[in-house]
């Protein structure tokens, strides 16, 4: 049992993570818009409905309700559905959840998980397609995770639910249907703050942020056919960042490309580049390359939209530029 | 239901502690937003609560922990920014939060407490506890979106929450008349299908009685109540704030100070009830408590840089972020 797996999609893995943690700990509750219809139907069949709250469309307040419940003995999961809606809730996330422990001199714990999905590459246009991880990595007191595989989604969500601090998990709808073998052990956790080397290599490092893992791995495959051996580091946790793994990889390869689908200015890639410049400069043989989304809004038009995010081709070109 | 004599004396003591606490602040460490004039509303409400009931408050925070019965020394030390403060000098005047008495947030984001108090109500309901949650807010906060969003959720789910408005007439300098479509905030309750009650906030016994009724209703599982206590802020919005315009008349302020002071009114009621000796003993005691607290605060150590990192996370991971320590400079 301990080492067995089951084939689950990324989305199924998220549901299973919630189911296992709700079984394990009765303090865990789930709140969100239309969760009885989308995402958590099977949880309604199993659990007391007092722990499953279909909420009115009041993002800031229902997120704050989750914070208030977290301060008073529960471990809420708040599903904010679409990452562009997080702005509505950002007051409660930033001014309350992230700050209350500090502001009370450590008297309070805030064990809340805010889940949200990046709804990009899906013809949803500029008010649904945001990938706002960098805004939240700039907030002290928050942990920010962005898994790119079903196993990591399950293990990171379970770790987030068990963590005593506020965690935001950015899920990627482009990965919802991707299936893989996922551990069934109820204590399978992916540690927060630990990047994962998804492909070992020695010629260059690609650090992928969130859903950029897939084009990063595809780029590595393509380059491998030419004998270029690329290491792909899946960041997994955006804050706190696993600098050690990144710096160790760059020390080995001397070359760094960062693939990040957030907007390039002030991106996660920018922070990684800054850290490596400060602490790993001697390892670098060529300038760091950021492959990110340009600073324009996401258009409805599909052909235009697809060009904006880091693609396999853009990542390959960035690696070639520093070989 | 009304308070017995010993409870009335406790109510008087807590009101006086708020007044003398803030007078000590003005004298020794002039920061913050004063509750002077609003003590009757605050303490009247708190007297209806148990120690384990939750409270959220506002930037005008001093009265809430004192109203709940908190020890004074850690509150005064917090005002002075000292390490012995209730929040270790990291929160300060707008955030006097004593969690041992159920306070979970004093929010300096106006309206920030509505969701948190509502969430505490949800937690109480899920845990099948018989606690209640009381949300102090001002007239200005009623115009934030969180007011309606949160009360609506409490109404849908019948959460044990009391939304308690300290309507002091002004949001900084903007009057209720100039910022509300109609002057009675409690009437908005009807829009959410819950009871709304207006009470004279300068009559602490009356405040206690309506709050107790709302608390009883909440504990019985009948849901939230919106209470509006009409009160008055004697001083400016903030202790050190220069107000370049006249937004209220001297006559108005003088009327409230002279005729509508909740402490003066309550004292007269107790003395008329034959409690003059007890009242004087309380007054002497409160004077000593404040003198001791100011000395304690002055003598206390400052916080350290390490207190900043030590209070960021319950479960620190890869933190502090850099090997060089908190600043991370080379």
pLDDT band at B329 (very low <50, low <70, confident <90, very high): low
- The confidence band for B242, taking pLDDT boundaries of 50, 70 and 90, is confident
Domain annotation covers residue A189: no
Does A122 share its domain with A233? no
Is residue A240 domain-resident? yes
- Please give the pLDDT value at position A36: 86
Residue A112 sits in the same domain as residue A231: no
Give me the total of CB pairs closer than 8 Å, taking one residue from chain A and one from chain B.
Answer: 170
| Encoded tokens for B226 | 């919106």
For residue range B172-226, what is the model confidence (pLDDT) as tens digits? Answer: 999 999 999 999 999 999 999 999 999 999 999 999 999 999 999 999 999 999 9
Same domain, yes or no, for A230 and A306? yes
Among B22, B48, B13, residue whose Cα is nearest residue B233:
B22
CA B35 to centroid of chain Cα atoms:
8
Contacts of A92 in chain B (CB under 8 A): 112, 115
Residue B135 and residue B161 in contact, taking contact as beta carbons nearer than 8 Å: yes
Q: Identify whether A303 is part of a domain.
A: yes
Instruction: Verify that A174 and A203 share a domain, yes or no.
Output: no
**Is the CB of B149 less than 8 angstroms away from the CB of A102?**
no
pLDDT (0 to 100) of residue A105: 98
- Tell me: do A141 and A17 sit in the same domain: yes
Task: Look at strands B133-138 and B161-167 and give their pairing.
Answer: parallel
Tell me how many domains chain A contains.
Answer: 2
User: Residue B133's pLDDT is what?
Assistant: 98
Q: Are residues A223 and A312 in the same domain?
A: yes
Q: Let me know if residue A42 belongs to a domain.
A: yes
Contact A171, A131 (CB under 8 A): no
Q: Could you tell me which of B319, B324, B297, B320 has the C-alpha nearest to residue B28?
A: B297
B5-303: CATH superfamily: Thiamin diphosphate (ThDP)-binding fold, Pyr/PP domains (3.40.50.970)
- Asked if B117 and B163 touch (Cβ cutoff 8 Å), the reply is yes
- CATH number for the domain harbouring residue A215: 3.40.50.920
User: Chain A: residue nearest B105 by CA?
Assistant: A100
**Chain A: residue whose CA lies nearest to B53:** A72
Last residue of a domain, one of A183, A211, A241: A183
Same-domain status, A154 and A253: no
Structural domain for A245, as ranges: 196-321
A227 within some domain: yes
Percent of chain B with pLDDT over 90: 92
From A152, A183, A214, the end of a domain falls on A183
In chain B, positions 113-172, which contact chain A (CB-CB < 8 Å)? 114-127, 133, 145-146, 149-150, 152-153, 156-157
Contact B118 A65 (CB under 8 A): yes
Are A307 and A216 members of one domain? yes
B107–A164 CB contact, under 8 Å: no
pLDDT of B330 over the 60 cut: no
B82 C-beta neighbours (distance < 10 Å), count: 20
Instruction: Tell me if A103 and B87 make a contact (CB, 8 A cut-off).
Output: yes
A282 touches chain B (CB under 8 A): no
Domain boundary pick from A161, A183, A205: A183
Q: Which residues of B285-324 are buried (b: 16+ CB within 10 A; e: fewer)?
A: ebeebbeebbebbeebeebeeebebebbbeeebbebbbee
Q: Are residues A155 and A241 in the same domain?
A: no
CB B329 within 8 A of CB B319: no
As for the ipTM of the complex, it is 0.96
CATH number of the domain encompassing residue A49: 3.40.50.970
List, in sequence order, every beta strand (DSSP E) within chain B. 54-58, 103-107, 133-138, 161-167, 170-171, 174-175, 196-200, 225-230
Return mean pLDDT, chain B: 95
Count of all residues that appear for chain A in the document: 323
pLDDT digits (tens, 9 = 90+) for A215-246: 999 999 999 999 999 999 999 999 999 999 99
Scanning A57-76 for CB atoms below 8 A from B yields 58, 60-74, 76
- For residue A282, is it within any domain? yes
- 3-state secondary structure (DSSP) of residue B241: coil
Mean pLDDT of B253-261: 97
Q: Does A298 touch chain B (CB under 8 A)?
A: no
For tokens 């504990």, the residue is B219
On whether both A137 and A236 belong to a single domain, the answer is no
Residue B243 has pLDDT above 90, yes or no: no
pLDDT value of position B319: 75
pLDDT of res. A39: 75
- Contact assignment for B95 to A140 by CB distance below 8 Å: no
Q: Examine the residue annotation and report whether A49 is marked as an active-site residue of this protein.
A: no
For B152, nearest residue in chain A (alpha carbons): A56
Q: Does B86 touch chain A (CB under 8 A)?
A: yes
List of chain A residues with pLDDT < 70: 1-2
**Yes or no, beta carbons of A64 and B120 under 8 Å apart:** no
Q: How far apart are CA A153 and CA A125, in angstroms?
A: 26
- Could you say which of B86, B117, B149 has the minimum Cβ distance to residue A60? B149
Distance CA B53, CA B3 (A): 18
Q: Are A90 and A67 in contact (CB under 8 A)?
A: no
Best mutation target among B75, B86, B93, B122 (most A Cβ atoms within 10 Å) is B122
Q: Does the beta carbon of A105 lie under 8 angstroms from any beta carbon of chain B?
A: yes
Could you report the per-residue pLDDT of B215-225, keeping only the tens digit for each?
A: 999 999 999 99
Rounded to a whole number of angstroms, the distance from the CA of A93 to the nearest CA of chain B is: 11
> What residues does each domain of chain B span?
5-303
The confidence score (pLDDT) of residue B245 equals 84
Asked if B153 and A55 touch (Cβ cutoff 8 Å), the reply is yes
pLDDT at residue number B325: 66
CB-based contact (8 Å) between B315 and chain A?
yes
Same domain, A73 and A140: yes
Do A62 and A157 fall into the same domain? yes
**Residue A261 placed within a domain:** yes
Q: Indicate the Cα dihedral angle B19, B24, B29, B32, nearest 10°.
A: 0
Backbone dihedral angles phi then psi of residue B56, each to the nearest 5 degrees: -115, 150
Find all residues with CB under 8 Å of A36, minimum gap 6, and list them. A44, A52, A54
Q: What is the pLDDT of residue A238?
A: 98
Distance CA(A198)–CA(B204), nearest Å, equals 66
Question: Which of B146, B307, B313 comes nearest A60 by C-beta?
Answer: B146
Instruction: Give A95's contacts in chain B (Cβ within 8 Å).
Output: 107, 109, 112
């Amino acid at each position: 049992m301990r080492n067995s797996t089951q084939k689950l999609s990324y989305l199924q893995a998220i549901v299973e993570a919630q189911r296992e943690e709700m079984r394990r700990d009765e303090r865990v509750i789930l709140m969100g818009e239309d969760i009885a219809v989308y995402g958590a139907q099977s949880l309604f069949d199993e659990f007391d409905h007092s722990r499953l709250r279909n909420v009115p469309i009041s993002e800031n307040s229902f997120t704050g309700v989750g914070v208030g419940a977290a301060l008073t003995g529960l471990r809420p999961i708040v599903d904010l559905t679409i990452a562009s809606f997080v702005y509505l809730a950002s007051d409660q996330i930033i001014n309350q959840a992230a700050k209350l422990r500090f502001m009370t001199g450590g008297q309070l714990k805030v064990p809340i998980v805010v889940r949200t999905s990046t709804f990009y590459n899906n013809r949803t246009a500029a008010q649904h397609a945001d990938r706002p991880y960098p805004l939240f990595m700039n907030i002290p007191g928050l942990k920010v995770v962005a898994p790119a595989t079903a196993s990591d989604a399950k293990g990171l969500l379970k770790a987030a639910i068990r963590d005593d601090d506020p965690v935001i998990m950015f899920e990627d709808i482009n990965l919802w249907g991707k299936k893989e073998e996922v551990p069934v052990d109820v204590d399978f956790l992916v540690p927060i703050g630990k990047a994962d080397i998804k492909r070992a290599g020695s010629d260059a490092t690609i650090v992928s942020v969130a859903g950029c893992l897939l084009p990063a791995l595809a780029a590595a495959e393509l380059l491998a056919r030419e004998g270029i051996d690329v290491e792909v580091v899946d960041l997994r946790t955006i804050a706190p960042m696993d600098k050690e793994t990144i710096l160790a990889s760059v020390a080995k390869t001397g070359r760094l490309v960062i693939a990040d689908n957030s907007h390039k200015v002030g991106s996660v890639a920018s922070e990684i580049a800054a850290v490596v410049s400060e602490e790993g400069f001697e390892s670098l043989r060529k300038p760091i390359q950021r492959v990110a989304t340009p600073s324009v809004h996401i258009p409805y038009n599909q052909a235009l939209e697809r060009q904006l995010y880091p693609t396999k081709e853009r990542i390959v070109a960035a690696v070639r530029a520093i070989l | 239901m009304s308070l017995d004599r010993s409870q009335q004396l406790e109510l008087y003591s807590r009101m006086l502690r708020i007044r003398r606490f803030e007078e000590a602040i003005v004298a020794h460490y002039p920061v913050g937003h004063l509750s002077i004039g609003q003590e009757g509303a605050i303490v009247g409400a708190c007297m209806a609560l148990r120690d384990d009931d939750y409270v959220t408050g506002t930037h005008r925070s001093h009265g809430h922990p004192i109203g709940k019965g908190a020890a004074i020394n850690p509150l005064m030390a917090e005002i002075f920014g000292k390490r012995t403060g209730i929040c270790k000098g990291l929160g300060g005047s707008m955030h006097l939060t004593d969690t041992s008495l159920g306070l979970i947030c004093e929010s300096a984001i106006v309206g920030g407490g509505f969701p948190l108090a509502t969430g505490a109500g949800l937690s109480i309901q899920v845990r099948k506890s018989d606690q209640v949650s009381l949300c102090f807010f001002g007239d200005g906060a009623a115009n934030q979106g969180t007011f309606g969003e949160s009360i609506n959720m409490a109404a849908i789910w019948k959460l044990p929450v009391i939304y308690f408005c300290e309507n002091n007439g002004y949001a900084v300098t903007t009057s209720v008349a100039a910022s509300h479509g109609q002057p009675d905030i409690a009437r908005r309750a009807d829009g959410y299908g819950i009871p709304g009650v207006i009470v004279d906030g300068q009559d602490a016994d009356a405040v206690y009685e309506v709050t107790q009724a709302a608390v009883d209703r909440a504990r019985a599982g009948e849901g939230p109540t919106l209470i509006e206590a009409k009160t008055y802020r004697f001083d400016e919005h903030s202790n050190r704030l220069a107000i370049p315009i006249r937004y209220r008349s001297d006559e108005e302020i003088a009327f409230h100070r002279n005729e509508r002071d909740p402490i003066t009114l309550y004292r007269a009621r107790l003395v008329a009830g034959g409690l003059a000796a007890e009242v004087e003993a309380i007054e002497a005691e409160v004077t000593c408590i404040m003198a001791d607290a100011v000395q304690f605060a002055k003598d206390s150590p400052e916080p350290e840089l390490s207190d900043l990192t030590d209070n960021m996370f319950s479960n620190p991971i890869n933190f502090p972020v850099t090997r060089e320590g908190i600043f991370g400079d080379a």
